[in-house]
Chain A
Amino acid sequence: MGEKVVLEALGVSKFFYARTKKDGKRQVVKAVDNVSFKVRENETFSLVGESGCGKSTTGRTVMRLLEPTEGKVLFMGENIMDRKGASLKQLRRQMQMIFQDPYSSLNPRKAIGRIIEEPLEIHHIGNASERREMAISALKQVGLREDQFYRYPHEFSGGQKQRIGIARALILEPKILVCDEPVSALDVSIQSQVLNLLQEIKDSSGVSLLFISHNMSVIRYISDRVGVMYLGRIVEECETARLFRRPGHPYTKALLSAVPEPSPNLRTERVELQGEVPSPLDPPSGCAFHNRCAYATPLCSAKIPERQEVETEHYVECHYAKELLRVSQQSHVLAQPAVMGRR
């Protein structure tokens, strides 16, 4: 992992305007609200959160698939907000994306070889035979065979389709790969194959990953650093091992404790979380988490907490982050062997 920052988001916000209320006011959905993070060279930075927390929107916004309402995005230290036309296209070459649903992200009417070649055509790289060569080597790199070049997407299983998506993204040798829930649609045994492939590619090519997922155990395995999102904000950002060992934000704690461990002897000490994520159309005042938080005080509903660095490179958006971190020093360990009816 290098120190060089490949992608940096600075106070990025993305608001959507929903239907007009009866009084004529526009309703605003703050899908992404003042989000900042860095992805370093050959690093995996993950965004984790429940549905509707804005993790995918963040991914799309930093790739400029969506235009941010506020803030800016730096790629290799350069502001990319005013890139357009040919220069934006040049940029896209270095930022590629893979999607959750391998079924709908491949054109059913094209042979997979053509699908993988297409990015090269778009960017006018090589001649026809060179492109074919490159596509074949990409195909092999993701664990498929050369003779599958002329097959169509429907002839492949979900895991194989995801591999095709990865080959298509990698053929341009991007600097950063945004993976939006790349294994969520796959069965467990296939999931681990695809995760291994992504890890292998990262190690061999030096690409950086912006990994978006709701699955905590996948996140724990693949990421170097994690940003936890709740209602459009990154409420905690930290190096992975430390986040799982000593979460600072009450929401992270609750989220971690809700993950069922695949072993009956490891009972997770549940942090009860009441209710559900509030509607982003009408988020609570102050700290968006305060109405579900066990530690909330009147201050929390009055004032939006600022992002503070509680330890080096460990950021938490909570008024009581430092105090809570001291408390969580020993408590909440994910794997606490409970004395259980073992025969």
Chain B
Amino acid sequence: MAPLLRVDGLRTEFRTLRGSVTAVDGVSFEVEAGQMFGLVGESGCGKSVTSQSIMRLYDEKKLARHSGKAILDGEDLLSVSQKRMRQIRGRDISMIFQDALSSLNPVFTIGWQIQEALKMHQKLGKRESRERAIEMLRLTGIPSPDKRVDCYPHELSGGMRQRAMIAMALVCTPKLLIADEPTTALDVTIQAQIMEMIVDLKDRLNMGVLLITHDLGVVAQTCSRVVVMYLGQVVEEGDSCDIFDNPRHPYTIGLLRSVPSVSTKKGDPLPVIQGSVPPLDKAGAGCRFADRCPLADEGCKIEPPALVDLGGGQKARCRKLDLTGG
């Protein structure tokens, strides 16, 4: 079966005052229908740029240049016109963001905003589309949706706003939902509710979900497949079980270890990754992680490593994989 979304060699360059910067450099992955796919990494790794490039949200005349492919259902999103893209956005592919308050328009009711997508893409009568909006609010677990539909964003709590935004994104039952840090701004108990709801809706609508987050816990609990990014590149990819139980890239290993977990002994120093993420334009010619990597040698700083297939669907971009085997 062909995957729902196939991203192939995606590269996004930004023109800046100090020359061009490659924020995403040759990213490839596949998301299947009904799958929860995690895109993980720290700030500045290019995970959000990846998603926004797929959605074609950047100003391509002045700012960004894409190459590679992003094929959704046989159609390459990176080569279609913006006019066609407007038909695809909201209908076939939707996006939700971290900060629901700034993503919702404060001067329209949430009902209006949910119906906006319906107006764009489907010819429904007024009453019908209002019914649909209410139905969506009910589906996302908002109590008394027939009243809430006429509320403005400021009248809702943080968790409710996030639910309303999800209702907005899903009203045309898209094939793919891109969720960019959907629960980062929320408290843990609300985060748990929202994630549970996303998983539930994914199953019901057989929708692919591309979950972008820095929270390894959320990924471990929800995603079946994971891509780890560092400085614009995929450093490791695999099934959740493999990535979390048997990570092979030194960055993934370091990242997983540095989260205090049940097994971390109190008082022992936490394992750390030395240094910090360098600016994109300062990345060296070789492996981008070399400066922070405990295994790196001189060769790593010169020769860029390739993404090595480890079997079982796991891949890692490292020259020292013989040292990280488990």
A157 adjacent to chain B (CB < 8 Å): yes
- Contact status A188-B244, CB under 8 Å: no
- Contact status A258-B260, CB under 8 Å: no
- Contact status B266-A276, CB under 8 Å: no
B144 adjacent to chain A (CB < 8 Å): no
User: Knowing A192-B260, A342-B241 touch, does A214 contact B187 (C-beta < 8 A)?
Assistant: yes
- Contact status B42-A258, CB under 8 Å: no
- Contact status A255-B189, CB under 8 Å: yes
- Contact status A187-B43, CB under 8 Å: yes
B21 adjacent to chain A (CB < 8 Å): no
B57 adjacent to chain A (CB < 8 Å): no
- Contact status A334-B262, CB under 8 Å: yes
B218 adjacent to chain A (CB < 8 Å): yes
User: Knowing A193-B272, A221-B270, A265-B241 touch, does A273 contact B193 (C-beta < 8 A)?
Assistant: yes
CA distance A273 to B159 in the complex (A): 13
Q: Mark A328-342, 1 if CB is under 8 A from B, else 0.
A: 000000110000111
Q: Interface centre among A195, A216, A263, by most B CB within 10 Å?
A: A263
Which chain B residue has the least Cβ–Cβ distance from A49? B187
- Contact status B214-A260, CB under 8 Å: no
Chain B residue numbers with a CB within 8 Å of A190 are 276
Name A197-232 residues within 8 Å CB distance of B. Answer: 199-200, 214, 216-218, 220-221
CA distance A196 to B273 in the complex (A): 12
CA distance A276 to B267 in the complex (A): 34
Name B142-166 residues within 8 Å CB distance of A. Answer: 143, 157, 159-160
CA distance A200 to B254 in the complex (A): 20
User: Knowing A260-B192, A261-B221, A264-B221 touch, does A188 contact B240 (C-beta < 8 A)?
Assistant: no
Picked from A159, A193, A220, A276, the residue with its CB within 8 Å of the CB of B159 is A276
Q: Tell me the count of chain A residues lying within 8 A, CB to CB, of chain B.
A: 49
Chain B residue numbers with a CB within 8 Å of A157 are 276-277
Chain A residue numbers with a CB within 8 Å of B264 are 220-221
Name B220-243 residues within 8 Å CB distance of A. Answer: 220-222, 239-242
Q: Mark B198-220, 1 if CB is under 8 A from A, else 0.
A: 00000000000000001111111
Chain B residue numbers with a CB within 8 Å of A267 are 221
Chain A residue numbers with a CB within 8 Å of B259 are 188, 192, 217, 262
Picked from A189, A192, A241, A343, the residue with its CB within 8 Å of the CB of B241 is A343
Chain B residue numbers with a CB within 8 Å of A240 are 266
Q: Tell me the count of chain B residues lying within 8 A, CB to CB, of chain A.
A: 50
CA distance A240 to B260 in the complex (A): 14
CA distance A189 to B293 in the complex (A): 12
Chain B residue numbers with a CB within 8 Å of A195 are 260, 270
Chain B residue numbers with a CB within 8 Å of A334 are 262
CA distance A266 to B256 in the complex (A): 14
User: Knowing A50-B189, A192-B272 touch, does A187 contact B217 (C-beta < 8 A)?
Assistant: no
- Contact status A189-B244, CB under 8 Å: no
- Contact status B188-A188, CB under 8 Å: no
CA distance A160 to B277 in the complex (A): 12
Chain B residue numbers with a CB within 8 Å of A216 are 188
Task: Please name 29 pairs of A and B residues whose Cβ atoms are closer than 8 Å in the assembled complex, sorted by A.
Answer: A187-B42, A188-B42, A188-B255, A189-B254, A189-B276, A192-B260, A196-B269, A214-B187, A220-B260, A220-B264, A220-B266, A221-B266, A260-B215, A260-B218, A260-B222, A261-B220, A261-B261, A262-B244, A262-B259, A263-B244, A263-B245, A264-B221, A264-B241, A264-B244, A265-B244, A265-B245, A270-B192, A276-B159, A335-B262
Chain B residues within CB distance 8 Å of chain A = 42-43, 143, 157, 159-160, 187-193, 195-196, 214-222, 239-242, 244-245, 254-256, 258-264, 266-267, 269-273, 276-277, 312
Chain A residues within CB distance 8 Å of chain B = 50-51, 157, 159-160, 187-193, 195-196, 199-200, 214, 216-218, 220-221, 240-241, 254-255, 257-268, 270, 273, 275-277, 334-335, 340-343
